[in-house]
């Protein structure tokens, strides 16, 4: 069970929106997910249309059950199980709602021994019921937030790309570092750029500064400013239900898949040296997978010699030219052929202007054991932008030199059909 605390002591950075939609997308990916609201404002329930007047048992009741209460030191006799306060939102998606009573938890139990470990004890008792537990924290560092961070194995810090974001992030990281030193277990930190508006110069500058200053901790996904996310919350629906065709849906699906692929802190590299070693290992794999391009006696698959007449080995430019002719995009009499190199991928899809950027409508066909995925499209003359979707990860075509920057800061590959 991976426990992720969503925390930032700066308010207005979209923690609750991130929690609701990330949980919904993790559930959509088949991961059993619990969203736990540790903010007394109770906005998670509000954003998921859970009626406040019908919440009989909240996370507050679970936290204080069996614990001393008030100045008299009286103790509840019964312990309330976490499952008694959970609401099913959709398949694989449960919510543990909050209540205004939770605000009194800090004053009641500030001096109670072990109060900062209370949530960790409750989640440990829950066993392996969930694969992901997302904990939405209040916008300050107190007993509730410290409970969440002590229980978590990972911290996700949403940062809006506004004027005060960098200062707020620095303070939050200082707090996380203090908690890290008090823990025996590792605590993985991820920074998420949120509410990004590519149209504003300030937004672009802040995003670049975040990447420069906190690069190793930054999520590769960023969440664009999208009114559909706010509209969905006002209707009590996550973006998976409100508008699965929106940019907000696409961003959160990418974030969910990135989080799943990253694994927990035990498998994520903790140092830049380890990251460099992993990149070197991947480079070796890519080199190994390129060898089937060469046939016997120094010939390519299609019969072109890789050696010059005097039997000297080919130079790098010649080999790269050949590789680019095998992979990439080219026009034929039948149509435009797209060839992607993804030897370790389960599936590859093609998205572009020609299919309204819907990758599901254009799956690419796997070659016979050579790591190639192909698609043939009869395109009319014109200019087209496209991207590959490799196991859910969007990327441009590395074997096509023609690229353009799209409104989201990523690269689109370009092909022109005459």
Which residues make Cβ contacts (< 8 Å) with residue 96, sequence separation at least 6? 34, 35, 36, 37, 58, 59, 62, 82, 85, 86, 87
Q: What's the CA gap between 239 and 319, in Å, rounded?
A: 46
Supply the pLDDT for residue 325. 55
- The C-alpha atoms of residue 222 and residue 196 are separated, in whole angstroms, by 7
> What is the pTM (predicted TM-score) of this model?
0.64
Contact of 350 with 388, CB cutoff 8 Å: yes
In terms of Cβ atoms closer than 10 Å to its own Cβ (0-12, 13-18, 19+), residue 417 is middle
Distance of CA 330 to the CA centre of its chain: 33
| Spatial distance between the Cα atoms of 176 and 241, rounded to a whole number of angstroms | 34
d(CA 179, CA 187): 9
Greatest extent of the chain over all pairs of C-alpha atoms, in Å: 95
Fold for the domain defined by 2-268: Rossmann fold (3.40.50)
pLDDT of residue 46: 93
The domain 327-417 having CATH identifier 2.60.40.10: the answer here is yes
Residue 407: the pLDDT is: 76
Taking only Cα atoms into account, the Rg of the chain, rounded to an integer number of angstroms, comes to 25
The confidence score (pLDDT) of residue 211 equals: 87
User: String of b and e for 93-116 (b: at least 16 CB within 10 Å)?
Assistant: bbbbbbbebbbebbebbeebeebb
Task: Please report, for the chain, the start and end positions of each structural domain, with discontinuous segments joined by +.
Answer: 2-268, 327-417
Q: Tens-of-pLDDT digits for all 418 residues of the chain?
A: 999 999 998 888 899 999 999 999 999 999 999 999 999 999 999 999 999 999 999 999 999 887 765 444 444 546 889 999 999 999 999 999 999 999 988 888 877 788 889 999 999 988 788 999 999 999 888 899 999 999 999 999 999 987 777 777 888 888 888 888 888 788 899 999 999 888 888 888 888 888 888 888 999 999 999 999 999 999 999 999 999 989 999 999 999 999 999 876 554 334 444 444 444 454 444 444 433 333 333 333 444 443 444 444 444 455 444 554 577 898 888 889 999 988 888 889 999 999 889 888 899 998 766 678 999 999 988 999 999 998 888 888 888 888 888 877 778 999 998 8
* Residue 332 structure tokens: 């034929």
pLDDT on residue 170: 80
Is 361 within 8 Å of 371 (Cβ atoms)?
no
């Amino acid at each position: 069970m991976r426990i992720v605390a969503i925390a930032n002591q700066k308010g207005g950075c979209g923690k609750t929106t991130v929690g609701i939609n990330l949980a919904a997308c993790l559930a959509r990916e088949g991961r059993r997910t619990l969203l736990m609201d540790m903010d007394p404002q109770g906005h998670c329930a509000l954003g998921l249309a859970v009626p406040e007047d019908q919440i009989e048992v909240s996370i507050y009741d679970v936290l204080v059950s069996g614990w001393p209460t008030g100045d008299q030191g009286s103790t509840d006799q019964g312990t309330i199980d976490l499952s008694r306060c959970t609401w099913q939102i959709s398949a694989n998606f449960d919510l543990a709602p909050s209540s205004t009573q939770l605000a009194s938890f800090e004053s009641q139990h500030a001096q109670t021994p072990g109060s900062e470990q209370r949530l960790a004890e409750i989640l440990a008792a829950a066993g392996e019921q969930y694969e992901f537990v997302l904990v939405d924290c209040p916008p300050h560092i107190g007993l509730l937030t410290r409970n969440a961070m002590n229980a978590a194995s990972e911290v996700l810090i949403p940062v809006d790309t506004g004027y005060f974001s960098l200062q707020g992030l620095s303070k939050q990281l200082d707090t996380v570092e203090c908690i890290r030193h008090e823990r025996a277990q590792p605590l993985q930190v991820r920074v998420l750029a949120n509410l990004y508006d590519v149209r504003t110069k300030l937004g672009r500058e802040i995003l670049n500064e975040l990447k420069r200053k906190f690069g190793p901790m930054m999520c590769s996904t960023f969440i664009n400013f999208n009114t559909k996310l706010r509209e969905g919350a006002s209707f009590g629906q996550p973006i998976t239900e409100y508008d699965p065709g929106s940019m907000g849906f696409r961003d959160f699906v990418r974030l969910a898949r990135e989080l799943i692929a990253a694994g927990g802190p035990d498998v994520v590299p903790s140092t830049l040296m380890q990251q460099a070693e992993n990149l070197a290992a991947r480079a070796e794999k890519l080199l190994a997978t390129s060898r089937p391009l060469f046939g016997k006696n120094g010939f390519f698959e299609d019969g072109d010699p890789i050696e010059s007449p005097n039997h000297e080995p080919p130079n790098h430019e010649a080999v790269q030219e050949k590789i680019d002719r095998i992979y990439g995009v080219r026009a034929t009499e039948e149509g435009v052929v797209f060839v992607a190199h993804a030897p370790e991928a389960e599936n590859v899809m093609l998205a572009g202007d020609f299919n309204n950027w819907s990758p599901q409508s254009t799956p690419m066909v796997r070659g016979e054991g050579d790591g190639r995925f192909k698609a043939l499209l009869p395109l009319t003359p014109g200019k087209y932008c496209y991207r590959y979707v490799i196991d859910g990860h969007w990327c441009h075509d590395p074997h096509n030199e023609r690229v353009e920057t799209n409104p989201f800061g990523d690269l689109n590959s370009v092909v022109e059909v005459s």
